[in-house]
């Protein structure tokens, strides 16, 4: 059966589009969530058109082989991980920007387009695609849509879903459906576009996306403030958001994260740093006024040092601390990145609770995040060669998610569920909502062909 499916796809897509080399398959088994189980795939297929995706899905369905769609595999939840005997469908050859319209302010792209490539292409036409996940130089638009990715700019501009006008999707039946529309407004029928965004490849395979664009923002300036406590930094952030200002970026680093960065590269941070707040305004001539007001607010709330950029180069230097987080934490051990979001009024309780969890389980937890929208990334750091440390880290990871839910938040603000967080999804959704999710999955994918075992637990059994 497996050989027959491989032969069929090679005949219809070409020899080079179907890969069975064990080394290649092994390198494509998982995304960046190293703690999630990854199976052994049957093959990797690289279709180059919607019609070829349809052929892959239909053939896989006929032979009863599940399909796991992959983009750049930069995800952090295991959603793109292989399952045993599956067909990996890579979108790497579906990588064309089909249209950029300055008049309609939209871009039409295939899912394999890298986020940064789209951003640069539209910038050349005086346009702006705001969603900017930290992985924007590697992650693809299809993956961003699959997880409803956010980024540093989302405090002002919103997340991926806010910019997806319409989609072309191949369903589990092999049929193609177009959701949404190109126009700015449109409320005919259920919002299937929003349903697809964030579904992590479990409801359909996106083969084309119509994305809203904005005019290029004006020049930006940045301010950075250092505090001796978490509470002071959070209070300053809350005051900035309540002031009427609309920062285009508002990022927070707790003390352990800031000290890790200082140890990695001298940024002039004091040894007793409690938190670091980084803010940006992209309002051109008004940006200087904005960052000066942000600096005033931070000083009022106890900042011991405030730096305000006067030009783009100084802004880049102030932002460097935020961009160094991953590199600074890497020498300390393996990282397990959480992704909780809570109401801004609960941020101090979240940060205090995370510190208590770290002490309870004897692990280092660093907590950077997008403080402007309450989406924090508590990162458990430990020695993976120590089984006891790994066990404590996993318990701490779960405890952080429990804390986020207890504070009225969510287990994921932008990374998705995948397999990493599936066991906590029912707790967040509740039984009635979870049942509706399962019924929707069954409507779109009655044989559980697409990315089975991801997001929802206890889904429909695969048809025999």
Residue 349 makes CB contacts below 8 A (sequence gap 6+) with 342, 407
Mean pLDDT of 169-189: 97
Token digits of residue 165: 């006008």
Residue 242 lies in a domain: yes
pLDDT band at 463 (very low <50, low <70, confident <90, very high): very low
What is residue 86's predicted lDDT score, i.e. its pLDDT? 98
Question: Rounded to the nearest 5°, which phi and psi values hold at 264?
Answer: -75, -40
157 and 200 housed in the same domain: yes
pLDDT at 402 over 90: yes
Q: What is the mean pLDDT of residues 250-273?
A: 94
Last residue of a domain, one of 64, 90, 116: 90
Is 358 a domain residue?
yes
Q: Is residue 407 part of a domain?
A: yes
pLDDT at residue 389, as a whole number: 95
Main-chain phi, psi angles of 229, to 5 degrees: -145, 160
Q: Verify that 26 and 9 share a domain, yes or no.
A: yes
Q: Which of 325, 338, 453, 339 has the alpha carbon at shortest distance from 395?
A: 338
Asked if residue 108 and residue 70 are part of one domain, the reply reads no
Would you state the pLDDT for residue 458? 53
pLDDT at 457: 67
Task: Supply the CATH number for residue 130's domain.
Answer: 3.30.465.10
Burial 326-355 (b: 16+ CB within 10 A, else e): eebbeebbbbbbbbbbbebebbbebbebbb
Say if 115 falls within a structural domain.
Answer: yes
Asked if residue 55 is part of any domain, the answer here is yes
Q: Tens digit of pLDDT for each residue in 201-256?
A: 999 999 999 999 999 999 999 999 999 999 999 999 999 999 999 999 999 999 99
Residue 76 shares a structural domain with residue 112: no
Distances, alpha carbon 247 to alpha carbons 156, 424, 458, in Å: 6, 33, 42
pLDDT in tens, 61-72: 999 999 999 999
CB 147 within 8 A of CB 76: no
Q: Is 13 domain-assigned?
A: yes
**pLDDT on residue 464:** 33
Tell me how far apart the alpha carbons of residues 130 and 160 are, in angstroms, rounded to a whole number: 8
- Check pLDDT > 80 for residue 338: yes
Are 136 and 240 in the same domain? Answer: no
255 and 182 within one domain: no
Range of the domain at 74: 2-90
Q: Calculate the CA 140 to chain-centre distance.
A: 11
Report how far apart, in Å, the C-alpha atoms of 51 and of each of 10, 45, 110, 197, 421 are.
Answer: 15, 14, 13, 22, 33
Residue found under tokens 């695969």:
462
Residues 323 and 325: their CA atoms lie apart, in Å, by 6
Q: Could you tell me if 319 and 340 lie in one domain?
A: no
Pair 337, 429 in one domain? yes
CA dihedral 251, 256, 258, 264 (to 10 degrees): -130
What is residue 303's predicted lDDT score, i.e. its pLDDT? 97
8 A C-beta contact, residue 405 and residue 346: no
Tell me, yes or no, whether 451 lies in a domain.
no
Considering the domain architecture, whether residues 337 and 418 belong to the same structural domain is answered as yes
CATH value at residue 309: 3.30.70.2190
Q: Domain with 378 in it: what CATH number?
A: 3.30.70.2740
| 206 and 270 housed in the same domain | no
**Domain boundary residue among 90, 113, 138?**
90
* Number of separate domains in the chain: 4
Q: Please tell me the predicted confidence (pLDDT) of residue 1.
A: 67
pLDDT digits (tens, 9 = 90+) for 284-317: 999 999 999 999 999 999 999 999 999 989 898 8
Same domain (yes/no): 209, 169: yes
**End-of-domain residue from the set 29, 63, 90:** 90
pLDDT at residue 460 in the model: 43
Tens digits of per-residue pLDDT, 417-433? 999 999 999 999 999 99
Please tell me the predicted confidence (pLDDT) of residue 201. 97
Residue 458 covered by a domain: no
Output the 3-class SS for the chain: CHHHHHHHHHHHHCHHHEECCHHHHHHCCCCCCCCCCCCCCCEEECCCCHHHHHHHHHHHHHHCCCEEEECCCCCCCCCCCCCCCCEEEECCCCCCEEEEECCCCEEEECCCCEHHHHHHHHHCCCEECCCCCCCCCCCEHHHHHHHCCCCCCHHHHCCHHHHEEEEEEECCCCCEEEEECCCCCCCCCCCHHHHHCCCCCCCCEEEEEEEECEECCCCCEEEEEEECCHHHHHHHHHHHHHCCCCCCEEEEEEHHHHHHHHHHCCCCCCCCCCEEEEEEECCHHHHHHHHHHHHHHHHHCCCCEEEECCCHHHHHHHHHHHHCHHHHHHHHCEEEECCCECCHHHHHHHHHHHHHHHHHHCCEEECEEEHHHCEECCEEEECCCCHHHHHHHHHHHHHHHHHHHHCCCECCCCCCCCCCCHHHHHHHHCHHHHHHHHHHHHHHCCCCCECCCCCCCCCCCCCC
pLDDT band at 158 (very low <50, low <70, confident <90, very high): very high
Same domain, 205 and 180: yes
Question: Which among 87, 79, 77 has a CA at the least distance from the CA of 35?
Answer: 77
8: domain CATH number?
3.30.43.10
Quote the percentage of the chain above a pLDDT of 70. 98
Q: How confident is the model at residue 134 (pLDDT cuts 50, 70, 90)?
A: confident
Beta bridge partners of residue 280, listed in sequence order: 222, 249
């Amino acid at each position: 059966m497996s050989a027959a499916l491989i032969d069929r796809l090679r005949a219809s897509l070409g020899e080079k589009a179907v890969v069975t080399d064990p080394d290649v398959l092994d390198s494509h088994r998982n995304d960046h969530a190293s703690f999630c189980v990854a199976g052994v795939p049957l093959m990797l297929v690289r279709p180059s058109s919607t019609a070829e995706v349809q052929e892959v899905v239909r053939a896989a369905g006929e032979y009863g082989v599940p399909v796991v769609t992959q983009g750049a595999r930069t995800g952090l939840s295991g959603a793109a991980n292989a399952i045993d005997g599956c067909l990996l469908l890579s979108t790497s050859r579906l990588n064309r920007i089909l249209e950029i319209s300055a008049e309609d302010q939209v871009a039409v792209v295939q899912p394999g387009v890298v986020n940064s490539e789209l951003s640069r292409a539209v910038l050349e036409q005086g346009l702006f695609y705001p969603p900017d996940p930290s992985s924007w130089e590697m992650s693809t638009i299809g993956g961003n849509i699959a997880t409803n990715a956010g980024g540093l700019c989302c405090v002002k501009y919103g997340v991926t879903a806010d910019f997806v006008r319409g989609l072309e999707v191949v369903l589990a039946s092999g049929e193609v459906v177009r959701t949404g529309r190109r126009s700015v407004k449109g409320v005919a029928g259920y919002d299937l576009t929003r349903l697809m965004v964030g579904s992590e490849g479990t409801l359909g395979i996106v083969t084309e996306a119509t994305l809203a664009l904005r005019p290029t923002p004006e020049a930006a300036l940045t301010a950075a403030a250092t505090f001796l406590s978490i509470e002071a930094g959070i209070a300053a952030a809350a005051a900035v958001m309540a002031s009427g200002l609309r920062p285009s970026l508002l990022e927070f680093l707790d003390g352990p994260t800031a000290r890790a960065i200082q140890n990695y590269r001298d940024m002039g941070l004091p040894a007793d740093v409690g938190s670091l707040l980084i803010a940006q305004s992209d309002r051109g001539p008004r940006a200087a006024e904005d960052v000066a007001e942000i600096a005033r607010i931070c000083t009022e709330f106890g900042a011991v040092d405030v730096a305000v950029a006067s030009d783009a180069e100084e802004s880049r230097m102030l932002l460097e601390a935020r961009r160094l987080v991953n590199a600074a934490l890497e020498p300390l051990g393996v990282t397990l990145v959480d992704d909780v979001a809570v109401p801004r009024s609960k941020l101090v309780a979240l940060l205090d609770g995370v510190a208590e969890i770290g002490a309870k389980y004897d692990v280092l937890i660093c907590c950077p995040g997008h403080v402007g929208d309450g989406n924090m990334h508590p990162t458990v750091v430990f020695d993976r060669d120590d089984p006891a440390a790994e066990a404590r880290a996993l318990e701490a990871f779960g405890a952080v998610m429990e804390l986020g839910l207890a504070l009225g938040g969510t287990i994921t603000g932008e990374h998705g569920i995948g397999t990493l967080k599936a066991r906590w999804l029912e707790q967040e959704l509740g039984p009635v909502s979870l049942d509706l999710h399962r019924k929707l999955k069954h409507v779109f994918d009655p044989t559980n062909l697409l990315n089975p075992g991801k997001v929802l637990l206890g889904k429909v059994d695969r048809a025999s």
